[in-house]
Amino acid sequence: MLVGLVSTLSLASVALALSPSYNSCPAQPRNVALKNNTHLPDPFTFEDGQKVKTKQQWQCRREELKSLFEEYELGTLPGPPEHLSASLNASNLTITAATNGATISFSVNITLPTTGKAPFPAVIAFDGLSIPVPSNVATIVFAVSAFGVQNDPSSRDVGTFYDLFGHNATASALMAWAWGVGRIIDALEITPSAKINTKKLAVTGCSRNGKGALVAGAFNDRIALTIPQESGSGGTSCWRISDAMLRDNQSTQTASEIVGENVWESLSFDQFANDTDLLPFDHHELLGLVAPRGLIVIDNSDYLWLGPESSWGCTGAARLIYSALGVTDNIGLSNVANHSHCAFPMARELPDLMAFYDKFLLNQPANTDIFYAVPNITLTVGDLAYWANWKVPKLS
Ligand SMILES: *[C@@H]1O[C@H](CO)[C@@H](O)[C@H](O)[C@H]1NC(C)=O
Ligand SMILES: *[C@@H]1O[C@H](CO)[C@@H](O)[C@H](O)[C@H]1NC(C)=O
Ligand SMILES: *[C@@H]1O[C@H](CO)[C@@H](O)[C@H](O)[C@H]1NC(C)=O
Ligand SMILES: *[C@@H]1O[C@H](CO)[C@@H](O)[C@H](O)[C@H]1NC(C)=O
Ligand SMILES: *[C@@H]1O[C@H](CO)[C@@H](O)[C@H](O)[C@H]1NC(C)=O
Ligand SMILES: *[C@@H]1O[C@H](CO)[C@@H](O)[C@H](O)[C@H]1NC(C)=O
Ligand SMILES: *[C@@H]1O[C@H](CO)[C@@H](O)[C@H](O)[C@H]1NC(C)=O
Ligand SMILES: *[C@@H]1O[C@H](CO)[C@@H](O)[C@H](O)[C@H]1NC(C)=O
Ligand SMILES: *[C@@H]1O[C@H](CO)[C@@H](O)[C@H](O)[C@H]1NC(C)=O
The model's pLDDT over 184-212, given as tens digits with 9 standing for 90+, comes to: 999 999 999 999 999 999 999 999 999 99
pLDDT at 229 over 90: yes
Ligand 7 centroid distance, CA of 279 (Å): 12
Task: Label residue 13 by pLDDT band (50, 70, 90).
Answer: very low
How far apart CA 123 and CA 5 sit, in angstroms, is: 27
How far apart CA 77 and CA 230 sit, in angstroms, is: 24
The tens digit of pLDDT for each residue in 105-138 reads: 999 999 999 999 999 999 999 999 999 999 999 9
Give pLDDT, residue 22. 37
pLDDT at 23 over 70: no
Asked whether the beta carbons of 203 and 179 are under 8 A apart, the reply is no
Min mean pLDDT across 25-29, 60-64, 350-354 is at: 25-29
CA angle 131, 136, 138 (to 5 degrees): 60
Give pLDDT, residue 15. 29
Ligand 5 centroid distance, CA of 379 (Å): 17
Task: Label residue 9 by pLDDT band (50, 70, 90).
Answer: very low
Give pLDDT, residue 202. 99
Task: Label residue 254 by pLDDT band (50, 70, 90).
Answer: very high
278 CA: nearest ligand 7 atom: 13
Give pLDDT, residue 20. 33
Tell me if 137 CB under 6 Å of ligand 6.
Answer: no
pLDDT at 2 over 80: no
Asked whether the beta carbons of 198 and 347 are under 8 A apart, the reply is no
Task: Label residue 18 by pLDDT band (50, 70, 90).
Answer: very low
Pick the residue whose CA is nearest to atom 5 on ligand 6.
Answer: 274
Asked whether the beta carbons of 228 and 284 are under 8 A apart, the reply is no
pLDDT at 233 over 90: yes
What is the phi/psi pair of residue 222, to 5°?
Answer: -80, 0
The tens digit of pLDDT for each residue in 156-190 reads: 999 999 999 998 899 999 999 999 999 999 999 99
**Average confidence score pLDDT of the chain:** 93
pLDDT at 139 over 70: yes
Tell me if 168 CB under 6 Å of ligand 5.
Answer: no
Give pLDDT, residue 14. 29
Pick the residue whose CA is nearest to atom 1 on ligand 7.
Answer: 36
If one counts every other C-beta atom within 10 angstroms of the C-beta of residue 346, the result is: 12
With a pLDDT cut of 90, the percent of the chain lying above it is 91
How far apart CA 39 and CA 188 sit, in angstroms, is: 42
Judging by DSSP bridges, how do beta strands 196-206 and 371-374 pair with one another? unpaired
- Where do the domains of the chain lie, and which CATH numbers do they carry? 44-77+110-143+197-387 (3.40.50.1820)
Pick the residue whose CA is nearest to atom 3 on ligand 7.
Answer: 38
How far apart CA 247 and CA 50 sit, in angstroms, is: 34
Give pLDDT, residue 31. 73
The tens digit of pLDDT for each residue in 261-319 reads: 999 999 999 999 999 999 999 999 999 999 999 999 999 999 999 999 999 999 999 99
pLDDT at 19 over 60: no
89 CA: nearest ligand 3 atom: 13
How far apart CA 389 and CA 47 sit, in angstroms, is: 17
Best CA proximity match to 347, nearest among 336, 333, 355: 336
Asked whether the beta carbons of 356 and 294 are under 8 A apart, the reply is yes
Residue 341 annotated to the active site: yes
pLDDT at 328 over 60: yes
Pick the residue whose CA is nearest to atom 4 on ligand 5.
Answer: 249
Tell me if 154 CB under 6 Å of ligand 5.
Answer: no
Cβ contacts of 314 within 8 Å, gap of 6 or more: 40, 236, 237, 238, 241, 282, 283, 284, 287
DSSP per position, 1-23? -HHHHHHTEEEEEEPPPPPPP--
If one counts every other C-beta atom within 10 angstroms of the C-beta of residue 38, the result is: 13
**Is residue 354 classed as helix, strand or coil in its secondary structure?**
helix
Tell me if 96 CB under 6 Å of ligand 2.
Answer: no
Tell me if 89 CB under 6 Å of ligand 1.
Answer: yes
CA dihedral for 196, 202, 206, 208, sign (positive or negative)? positive
Pick the residue whose CA is nearest to atom 3 on ligand 4.
Answer: 168
The ligand with the least distance to the CA atom of 164 is 4
Amino acid at 83: H
**From 7, 8, 9, 89, mutation site for ligand 1 pocket: most ligand atoms within 8 A of C-beta:** 89
375 CA: nearest ligand 8 atom: 13
pLDDT at 228 over 70: yes
How far apart CA 389 and CA 70 sit, in angstroms, is: 25
pLDDT at 333 over 60: yes
Please give the model's pTM, rounded to 2 decimal places.
0.92
How far apart CA 42 and CA 25 sit, in angstroms, is: 19
Pick the residue whose CA is nearest to atom 2 on ligand 1.
Answer: 89
Give pLDDT, residue 220. 98
**From 8, 87, 88, 107, mutation site for ligand 2 pocket: most ligand atoms within 8 A of C-beta:** 107
DSSP per position, 139-160? EEEE-HHHHS--SSGGGTT-SH
The ligand with the least distance to the CA atom of 302 is 8
Min mean pLDDT across 25-39, 126-140, 222-236 is at: 25-39
Tell me if 107 CB under 6 Å of ligand 2.
Answer: yes
**Is residue 124 classed as helix, strand or coil in its secondary structure?**
strand
> Which one of 85, 87, 207, 237 is the catalytic residue?
207
What residue ranges line ligand 7, CB within 6 angstroms? 36, 38, 275, 277-278
How far apart CA 13 and CA 191 sit, in angstroms, is: 9
109 CA: nearest ligand 2 atom: 13
Q: How far is CA 135 from CA 19, 182, 194, 300, 350, in A?
A: 35, 25, 17, 25, 13
Amino acid at 39: H
The tens digit of pLDDT for each residue in 365-377 reads: 999 999 999 999 9
The secondary structure of residue 281, as a DSSP letter, is -
* Segment 202-231 mean pLDDT: 98
> Which one of 39, 83, 339, 341 is the catalytic residue?
341
Best CA proximity match to 239, nearest among 33, 35, 39: 39
Asked whether the beta carbons of 343 and 270 are under 8 A apart, the reply is no
Give pLDDT, residue 223. 98
Give pLDDT, residue 30. 64
**Is residue 266 classed as helix, strand or coil in its secondary structure?**
coil
